[in-house]
Structure 1
Amino acid sequence: MPGTRKLGRATSNRMAMLRAMVTFLLEKGKIETTVTRAKEVRALTEKFITIAKENNLHNRRLALGFITKETVVKKLFDEIAPKYADRNGGYTRITKTGPRRGDAAEMCIIELL
């Protein structure tokens, strides 16, 4: 279930951060973040790609309620979801890159396959 990690933030701040990160991942295709954040973003991103596989008004409104940019929702439904039409999950890859300089947090790159 997505959203079980608190990530050291209040609920509203955490959801705003995750919404932004999911939006940027779908927009750019790749982002660099910590491993725990990447695992949360992966769960939410895969959920919305699965929703976007069936292109109807209800699913589009579900995506618009979470993803912050309308252009990214259009890209999700028109480009990203059809690419994964024959795939049952596993739309993202997390690659660890080593510790962050400063606080030694484990960093990684999360990208769409």
Structure 2
Amino acid sequence: MGHAVHTRDLGRFSSYRAATVQSLAQALVRHERINTTLARAKEAQRLAERLVTLAKKGGLADRRRAVALLQDKQGVGRLFSQIAPRFASRAGGYTRILHNGIRSGDGASMAVLEWTELSPDLDKKAEPVRRDRKKGVSTLAIRPPSAAPEAEKPKVQPPASRKKKPESAQNRPKEPKKGGFLKGLRRFFGGDQRRGA
């Protein structure tokens, strides 16, 4: 019976569990979107929300507390300077979990954990574009014309002629090979003269 169980153990003992959650939070601060299992995402979400709350307060004690929780000074600097200002008007709900199907190997529920206010460059990448198969036209989102089209690369042509073997090698008669099932045994017992030369 699961009475009074308030934590997800993630199949680890406590110090490994804390390290896993800390590592996921570091990855979220660094990449702003991570793909993990649903249980891990829910645990990492708790820590990420606490970190943003500390960063929004912005004091020295809050910064030191964030360094103690995250164990990454550069990540805390990014959290305080870039991530927390995005959430200045938001009272909570800094992250979201999107369900991402089932992992084929073990059937684990997968999820994407990301900030609700993504950085502008990540937000542009997130635009899904669906194409109508018959017309070849995007039906969901049309990319802005300001995006520069990719420069066409000149096609590299394969060499027209391959190197030919010298004629003496082509006209030379081939020696019949002594083959078959007993080839190795013949050499072993001394039937082939190539062995000890």
Q: TM-score range by the shorter chain?
A: over 0.9
Deviation track 1:55-99 (CA, whole Å, cap 9, x = no partner) reads 111000001002132111001011111110110111111111111
Identify the structure with bigger relative contact order (alpha carbons < 8 Å, sequence gap 6+).
1
Aligned: 1:99 with 2:106: no
Shift of 1:29: 0.2
Aligned residue for 1:87? 90
Aligned residue for 1:11? 14
Pick the structure with more helix per residue.
1
Distance 1:44 1:4 in 2: 13
With the length of structure 1 as denominator, give the TM-score of the two structures: 0.94
Aligned: 1:27 with 2:34: no
Aligned: 1:59 with 2:62: yes
Aligned residues, how many? 111
With the length of structure 2 as denominator, give the TM-score of the two structures: 0.55
Give the counterpart letter for 2:9 in structure 1: K
Aligned: 1:46 with 2:60: no
Q: Please give the secondary structure, in 2, of the residue aligned with 1:4.
A: coil
Q: Please give the secondary structure, in 2, of the residue aligned with 1:53.
A: helix
Aligned residue for 1:68? 71
Contact 1:20 1:68 in 2 (8 A): no
Distance 1:93 1:18 in 2: 16
Where does structure 1 lack aligned partners over 5 or more consecutive residues? none
Where does structure 2 lack aligned partners over 5 or more consecutive residues? 1-5, 117-197
Structure label with greater radius of gyration: 2
Pick the structure with more strand per residue.
1
Please identify runs of 4+ aligned residues in structure 1 that moved more than 6 A: none
